[in-house]
Structure 1
Amino acid sequence: MSTLEIKDLHVTVETEDSTKEILKGVTLTIKDGETHAIMGPNGSGKSTLAYTIAGHPKYTVTQGTILLDGEDVLEMSVDERARAGLFLAMQYPVEIPGVSVSNFLRTAKTAIDGEAPKLRTWVKDVNAALAANNLDASFAQRSVNEGFSGGEKKRHEIAQLELLAPKVAVLDETDSGLDIDALKVVSDGVNRFAANGDKGVLLITHYTRILRYIKPDFVHVFVNGRIAEQGGPELADELEATGYDKYVKAAV
């Protein structure tokens, strides 16, 4: 049983002019076997939540807690959070020239597990994960994200997710920039991960189109650094029909 608990989270960021509060009291619990979708307009704080969970140094927590299975995430370094079972798929994956996908994945797996995977079985696992995400085995020899298309970057993120097998996956706009074919591949990968039953998923998105393929248990509407509304998958249908206007106006 794994549970990610976010309680009354307040987060600030330094701007050129001042310190700006982005998250203004977010409370959210993700249990294993649950898929949560966070939706909202640009600038509402969705990505800030993702990066705060992961430990990005740009963001400062001024109030509240984040607990993973009762352990204080905020006291952990970024690598400790990964070893504890947190995973972040970034909206804009960075390029790492000179580091092959193969070496990157094996180094990450070794760091998380505390020991290197057996090479023969690992190569099979990597090839299987790549194939499941419509990536050729030769993809493993390319430098991480260098020259990748948008779809390749996102499918590579899902291959990482499947190989590293975290407790909770935070997916920051994994659907952005994807054509319909790549969207289906990425969605299938997330569904395979979630189907284990002991994994939690926090899916951040602007649009409902990915929710046609990934069915959330809970939908949360983010506006102005807070959760303005929450409900079941039917809430996504309402947002598709009416947009965010009524929540934005209520937050003003």
Structure 2
Amino acid sequence: MPHDEVEARMQALVQSWEESSDQRSIFLKCYLMMTRNMHLAIQLDEFRDPDWVDHLVNHFAGYYFMALEAYEQDPAAAPPVWQLAHRAARDPDLIGIQKLLLGINAHINYDLALAVVDMLKPEWGELSDGLQEDRYVDYCHVNEVIGSTIDEVQDQVLEQVMPAMELIDTLFGPLDEKVISSLLGHWREKVWHYAEQLLKAMDVEDQVRLRLELERDAIKIGHTIGFTDRA
């Protein structure tokens, strides 16, 4: 899906959800901001292989839309970590930052590993050490784009649903943004290593085991964010 179509589809959903007070808009509005900033960074030639990064960004978005479509048709058909995030968006006992982080958790700690594997698998056996490094460096540069977006997300998304965030931002300045940026960077580093393990897995049993482990870890993080039982 071309990046302009990705952004347009996200924007339409955000508008619809905001009009209907559906708080799934919290995560998606954040994701739209980050996606726009990623496309801008690509246009500014910030990556070693901008075409590869552009393909990854748009392919990654496809996982979000697939999970959403599955949930809309039959909630039980969506990946469990996304079931958790979508249910949480409608939970009045959870605050905005929890709903945001639950969406980010599902998309980074589950979807991203699968998207990276999809992108690297066709070329993995032929990539030189230098090209593997290029892929990793580009992947890591995304952390900087995310970090530069967090303040915007806090101002335009979280403060709308959590007025106290403005006070927190005033009292602590960039500290809270650095904490969130560091957390997401940690998650993305772990995801890269999961992707490498999946790419190196020689048989189907190992691949299935790793994918289930990936899913379990994401669900565990989700329950921690949402303060829910793991049962």
Please indicate, yes or no, whether the TM-score normalized by the shorter chain is above 0.5. no
The structure that is helix-richer by fraction is 2
Please identify which structure carries the higher strand content.
1
Structure 2 length-normalised TM: 0.29
